[in-house]
A and B are shown apart, each in its own frame.
Chain A
Amino acid sequence: MSAKRLGDRAVQWALRCYPGWWRDRYGRDQEALVEDLMAERSQRSRRASSAWGLAGSFVVGAVRARTSGCGMPAVPDLWQRRARTAVIGAVLPAALGAGAVLLLLGHTSQYATSGSGSGTTSRAIELSVPGQVIYWINLVLIVLSLAFIVQLAWAAVGLSCEMRSLAPPRRRVLVAAVTLVPMVAVGLGLLLLIAAARLRPVISGSAGIGHRVLHVWYSYPGHPLAATILFCAGLAGILGGWFGGTALLATMAARRRFPIQALMAAVTRARALTVVQGGVALCALALVIALPLQPPIGPDGGMIYRTDLGAWTPVLTGALVTGALITWAATRAARRAVTRASSLS
């Protein structure tokens, strides 16, 4: 395919990136403008636009139209649909981001050698400056993650109460219960993990219950089958409850099971989450930058932080940063859409 045809196709694809209501309103107009600009290009005008430049401009315009809703007709149904989509967009990245944070935290560990060969040691050895930065980033990340979990639990409880008061009478209990599904599932899953950890034998260095929870899947002599079953059930409860419950909430929001005022409450809570989520994303970004800056361990030994995630670290960090940006943009869009939908209906 020639470069010119490829460029023309890119322009057509970019025009299709606009939302349907925009294309209904300005689609034919924009196509006519493209024809005029292309005709100008074929006359080799000095300042004629290139097809790729046009495509880029339309893609930016399409993103702007989708995020701002500018130019959207005053149709209540259209604004309600936009509000629901924006709320889902604001809440889902936060739910998915929690998994990414746990992965990052769980796979970043200290590694030290005393100089007489490689291996993990408990001897206190000085960290380099980037290593110390990573140490503090990890601490902040843990504090932020805990704050995120507490905030999320608080938001779920508050939202459940508000949903109960706002939902139609015959759906009140259902709506309130469904809102709590992710948090309840995570709570039950954690209890199962703790029960599994208590069943496993105590070995050197794993006396703490947290340590035993984290290492419960390791195979040790005398490890009871019940511990493995409880551990698997706990993990399935946490993952299934968290992601399944969030997906259920998203589906219910999309299928209009929640009233529009309840969505406003969800938006307010999602906005509060954005601050913590943004902080977590920034910490993860700093971690990715600081990890390769550490000097390698020399012949006299030393201590560095390393991650088992390898190339997945920047990918996860990118996902976290993108998620925080999406939440921020979606909460802004949702707030506007919910206000407009309420005023129209």
Chain B
Amino acid sequence: MGSLGRSSDRWLLVLVSLADGAKHGYALLKDIEAFADVRLSPGTLYAAIARLEDAGLVESVGSAERRRPYRLTAAGRRVLAAELEAAATVSRVGLRRLRGATA
């Protein structure tokens, strides 16, 4: 995610939301609100989608409908898996140290 810049949290949220299948804009907003309790603004959401599409991590599903769904690409899956692994490692170390400090 390093190449995506400072606001990688938003892009990570979009990637996580798309991990279980394609979603259109409104479904993405609602899903992110449900699992992260973060309400992205529409302007921010589409800026994130555009950046992720440019980076080749997300693609739109060919659809004639106005509500065009987006899905992860293979590269997007790899990047998301690596990011979540790194986050999980940080989380494990942090929790272990907290337990050690209170014991």
Residue of B nearest to A22 (CB): B50
Pairwise interchain contact B42-A33, C-beta atoms closer than 8 A: yes
Taking the closest CB of chain A, its distance from the CB of B42, in whole angstroms, is 5
Is B3 at the interface (CB under 8 A from chain A)?
no
Q: Is B59 part of the binding interface, using a Cβ–Cβ cutoff of 8 Å?
A: no
Q: How far is the CB of B58 from chain A (nearest CB, A)?
A: 11
Q: How many residues of B contact A (CB 8 A)?
A: 21
Cβ distance A282 to chain B, nearest Cβ, rounded Å: 25
Residues of B34-51 contacting chain A, CB below 8 A = 39, 41-47, 49-51
Asked if B68 lies at the interface with its beta carbon under 8 angstroms from chain A, I say yes
User: Is there contact, CB below 8 Å, between B43 and A61?
Assistant: yes
Tell whether, in the assembled complex, residue B43 and residue A58 are in contact, meaning their CB atoms are under 8 Å apart: yes
Chain B residue numbers with a CB within 8 Å of A300 are: none
Q: Is the interface of B mostly helix, strand, loop or mixed?
A: helix
Set of chain B residues within 8 Å of A54, measured between Cβ atoms: 41-42
Q: Is the interface of A mostly helix, strand, loop or mixed?
A: helix
Task: For A58, list chain B residues within 8 Å (CB).
Answer: 42-43
Total A-B residue pairs with C-beta atoms closer than 8 Å?
A: 74
In the complex, what residue of chain B is closest to A11 when comparing beta carbons?
B42
A36 at the interface (CB under 8 A from B): yes
> Are B66 and A61 closer than 8 Å at their CB atoms?
no
Q: Could you tell me how many residues of chain A have their Cβ less than 8 Å away from some Cβ of chain B?
A: 26
Interchain CA distance A65-B47 in the complex, whole Å: 7
Closest to B25 in A: A33
Q: Is B77 an interface residue (CB 8 A)?
A: no
| A29-B54 CB under 8 A given contacts A37-B42, A58-B42 | no
B10: Cβ under 8 A from any A Cβ: no
Interface contact B66-A32, CB-CB below 8 Å: yes
Residue of A nearest to B66 (CB): A32
State whether A61 touches B47 (Cβ < 8 A): yes
Give bound CA distance, A31 to B50, whole Å: 16
Contact, CB under 8 Å: A71 / B43: no
Q: Decide if A30 touches B25 in the complex (CB within 8 Å).
A: yes
Q: Which of A7-34 contact B (CB under 8 A)?
A: 22, 25-26, 28-34
Contact A34 B42 (CB under 8 A): yes
Q: Given A29-B24, A29-B67, A36-B26, are A60 and B43 neighbors across the interface (CB < 8 Å)?
A: yes
Residues of A within 8 A of B67 (CB): 29, 32-33, 36
Indicate if A165 sits at the interface (CB-CB under 8 A): no
Interface residues of A in 26-69 (CB under 8 A from B): 26, 28-34, 36-37, 47, 49, 53-54, 57-62, 64-65
Q: Is B44's CB under 8 angstroms from A61's CB?
A: yes
Contact A64 B42 (CB under 8 A): no
In the bound complex, do residue B46 and residue A26 qualify as a contact, i.e. CB atoms below 8 Å apart? yes
Across the interface, which residues of B come within 8 angstroms of A64, CB to CB?
43, 47
Q: Which residues of A contact B42 (CB under 8 A)?
A: 30, 33-34, 37, 49, 54, 57-58, 61
The CB with the most chain A CB atoms within 10 A, among B25, B29, B49, is that of B25
Q: CA separation between A34 and B41, bound complex, in Å?
A: 11
Distance (Å) between the CB of A90 and the closest chain B CB? 22
A270 nearest CB across to chain B (Å) = 23
Chain A residues whose CB sits within 8 angstroms of the CB of B24 once the complex forms: 29, 32-33
Collect the chain B residues with CB atoms within 8 Å of residue A53's CB: 41
**B41/A57 in contact, CB under 8 A:** yes
Whether B50 and A57, one on each chain, are in contact in the complex, defined by CB atoms closer than 8 angstroms, is no
Residue of A nearest to B50 (CB): A71
Residues of B within 8 A of A61 (CB): 41-44, 46-47
Cα-based distance from A42 to B5 in the complex (angstroms): 37
Could you list some 18 contacts between A and B, CB below 8 A? A25-B50, A26-B46, A28-B68, A29-B46, A30-B42, A32-B24, A32-B67, A33-B45, A33-B67, A37-B29, A37-B42, A47-B39, A49-B41, A54-B41, A57-B43, A59-B43, A60-B41, A70-B47
**5 more A-B contacts (CB under 8 A) besides A36-B26, A65-B50?**
A28-B66, A37-B29, A54-B42, A57-B42, A71-B49
| A-B complex: 3 closest residue pairs judged by Cβ atoms | A61-B43, A71-B50, A57-B41
